[in-house]
Amino acid sequence: MGRKGWGGTPPADDAEARKRIVDAAVDRVQSRGPRHTTLSDVATDLGITRPTIYRYFASIEDLLAAAAEVALDGWTARIGDMSKDISDATDLLTEAVAFLIEQLPDEPLLAQLLETDRMRLVGRQMVMPAAVARSRTMLQNTQINWAALGFTGARFDDLVEFLLRMIQSMVIAPSDPPRTGAALRDYLRLWIGPVMGAATKSAPPRPVRKRR
């Protein structure tokens, strides 16, 4: 790795270089907006050249996708904290989905990306395998026994993808007028509840323990 640029403090390895480029892109988007964020801008902020950025990101869309990942990671952690004391699966999913639908548009980085023609980029990020895996891990760390409800393996991933796509559609194309508060939660529970009930009915039977 070259020793020039980087404000006089080159990164120790490629992982650090990538992180510093993403962090610079996040700062630029938050201060100037995605329309005014280019690879040249990020390179200037870091004191490096565009070819250096191309070593890690093929395009500005690729870089912004990584920036969106940073924002989405933070929201996954918030959902985990918010839902840790909820013991009913339908209530937990309803509240988690409603929270994201209401709050994501006000998140500085994602809100600015959603307002541009790059909104498809963020939409894709919300349902990519990495987002599904991250959200599944968050749900597994709650009080809910998902296996007892019939959600394991690919079936669990399908549930998470279904919820993420619901969030994606309602954030990018909200209803008019938008549903909020109790109305939003009633609407979500109306559709999430039957999904949970159907899964429970079709869950594989548990093995019967032999009496001693």
All structural domains of the chain with their residue ranges = 6-57, 65-198
Q: Quick one: how many helices (H) and strands (E) in the chain?
A: 10, 0
Of 3.65.10.10, 3.90.180.10, 1.10.101.10, 1.10.10.60, which CATH number belongs to 6-57?
1.10.10.60
**Cα(164)–Cα(146) distance, rounded to whole angstroms?**
17
User: 166 Cβ partners below 8 Å, 6+ apart?
Assistant: 97, 188, 191
**Cα(138)–Cα(3) distance, rounded to whole angstroms?**
40
Torsion of CA 106, 108, 112, 113, to 10 degrees: -100
User: What confidence tier does 135 reach under pLDDT thresholds 50, 70, 90?
Assistant: confident
Structure confidence at residue 126 (pLDDT): 67
> pTM (2 decimals)?
0.71
Structure confidence at residue 118 (pLDDT): 57
Q: Is residue 212 predicted with pLDDT exceeding 50? A: no
Q: Is residue 4 predicted with pLDDT exceeding 80? A: no
User: What confidence tier does 77 reach under pLDDT thresholds 50, 70, 90?
Assistant: confident
